Structure 1
Amino acid sequence: MTAAPKVAVFDLDHTLINTDSANGFGLWAHEQGLWPIDDLHGQLAHWHRLYGEGRLPVAQYLDFIVSPLANKAEATVAGWVADFAKARVLPHLRPQAMDALRRHQDQGDRVIVSSATIAPIVGGICRLLGLDDYLATDLEVNQGHFTGRPQGIPNLGQGKAWRLAAHLGAKPVHLSAYSDSINDLALLSLADQAHAVTPDPRLAAIAEVRGWPIHHW
């Protein structure tokens, strides 16, 4: 019997990189004068805290984080993200996480990045890293411009598991999954081999009970 193809899925923020790409992009855009908003640091910290506690009001958060892209051309935003990623993401790569990703590639495994962050940011970072298979929270586009609204199922929580299952299709695979966050428990629970990467306390406790490897990268 032919062995099932192998797939490795990696979370982005605090797994492949040791920073938050959505918050980082927001702060970068603010510094460039692209998102003039009062107390941005405080608002981002508020949303980040709710996400970490598993209490994020998703629709409200997406309205907020997508707002600076409303009516902007896809090509314009792609240029912004490319500049941001070079300046603020590349210095924050986790070398050991990237080594694990490259090992999967060298073994012929399919590698997918799956992130709750909005797709223009995730796509730009993945392009910079030479990765073309990713899942993210999609945005609505009309005639080449972002409308400022999300589209489809947000790629977080249970949605991450649903989106990955749909992306992989019906054929069986051997799945490895890497994440730092309790918010990705549904995704990790899908995997044949789950890996907790510098996990938050709740995920660390579950990983300990379930016997999942814990990596302090």
Structure 2
Amino acid sequence: MTTLHTAPAEQFTREEFHQAVIAANPKVAVFDCDGTLWTGDAGYGFMIWSIESGLVSRNTADWVDTQYRLYRAGKVSEEEMCAEMVQMYAELREDEMRHAAATYFRTHIEANIFPELRNLIADLRAAGTELWAVSSTNNWVIEEGVARFGIPASRVLAAEVKIVNGHVTSDLIDVPTDEAKATALVRAGVPHPDCVFGNSIHDEAMLKIAKHAFPVNPTPALVQSAAENGWTVFYPASVLKDSKV
């Protein structure tokens, strides 16, 4: 029996990446956020920060900690965990969540923004590209973060719950992860974006509906997918510095 081996994914230099995106002349560009626009998982980080800062009760903290351990053990799905990481703030005031998200992003994530993506998005915005952000992290943190890139809250598709009388509820609006990322874009009227950027296998579905797919800082599973789909990958300089990629 013959075993077929997929050739390794090709890799862009910084200049090649920037030029390839600009050359695509996208009317619509879609970005995942955690790991794509900045290093780290802002969803998990915000969860830990909000527990340590006393934003949520001890009972809530214990419950979500247990759920996260089950998630790490493969007993809770990605979608379920992402949902619970936004539902855990039920009964808090929305303005309190916005303030907390702003504080967290400024103090823990902002310094980790990839300069290459900041510069690229600035050029796309100047060229009139319609920019979207899709993430399974809660919408408060994502809206706060992508405002730095000029992406408006109206073009953010993130884990979100209903707000009633200024208070957070546990009623889910959406949890865009895996196939649900592509579905969320279709529902928003963006079924075939010109360019999509993502870093993990949870972005694969929306990368596949793009005219041009750009895996950025890809996880091993997405590197394999990139090789299979003929996508060229890009690693920001800070990632290359900290690894042997």
TM-score scaled to structure 2, two decimals? 0.75
The one of 138, 142, 149 aligned to 2:171 = 149
- Please list, as runs of the form range in 1=range in 2, the aligned pairs for 1:173-192 lying within 5 A after superposition: 175-192=194-211
Aligned 8 A contact 2:86 2:160 in 1: no
Distance 1:128 1:43, change over 3 A: farther
Number of corresponding residues: 207
- SS of equivalent residue, structure 1 residue 191: coil
The one of 220, 232, 238 aligned to 1:201 = 220
The one of 180, 183, 192 aligned to 1:159 = 180
Determine the C-alpha separation between the residues in 1 that align with 2:63 and 2:88.
15
Determine the C-alpha separation between the residues in 2 that align with 1:131 and 1:48.
32
Aligned 8 A contact 2:214 2:234 in 1: yes
1:106 matched to 2:140: no
> Which residue pairs with 1:95 in the alignment?
115
Structure 2: gaps of 5 or more residues: 1-24, 237-245
Q: Which amino acid aligns with 2:128?
A: G
Determine the C-alpha separation between the residues in 1 that align with 2:151 and 2:131.
8
Cα deviations across residues 31-79 of structure 1 (Å, max 9, x unaligned)? 211133349778646536759xxx725235523x134411111111111
TM-score scaled to structure 1, two decimals? 0.84
Determine the C-alpha separation between the residues in 2 that align with 1:139 and 1:84.
20
1:215 matched to 2:234: yes
> Which residue pairs with 2:52 in the alignment?
31
Aligned 8 A contact 2:226 2:232 in 1: yes
- Higher Cα Rg: structure 1 or 2? 2
The one of 51, 56, 69 aligned to 2:77 = 56
1:22 matched to 2:33: no
Aligned 8 A contact 1:15 1:179 in 2: yes
Q: Which amino acid aligns with 2:156?
A: Y
Determine the C-alpha separation between the residues in 2 that align with 1:134 and 1:197.
19
Q: Which amino acid aligns with 1:10?
A: F
Distance 1:91 1:48, change over 3 A: farther
Determine the C-alpha separation between the residues in 2 that align with 1:146 and 1:39.
18
Identical residues among aligned pairs (%): 24
> Which residue pairs with 2:71 in the alignment?
47
Determine the C-alpha separation between the residues in 1 that align with 2:73 and 2:204.
18
Q: Which amino acid aligns with 1:216?
A: Y
Aligned 8 A contact 2:30 2:131 in 1: yes
Determine the C-alpha separation between the residues in 2 that align with 1:104 and 1:204.
25
Larger displacement relative to structure 2 (107-116 or 204-213): 204-213
Structure 1: gaps of 5 or more residues: none
- SS of equivalent residue, structure 1 residue 69: coil
Aligned 8 A contact 1:10 1:112 in 2: yes
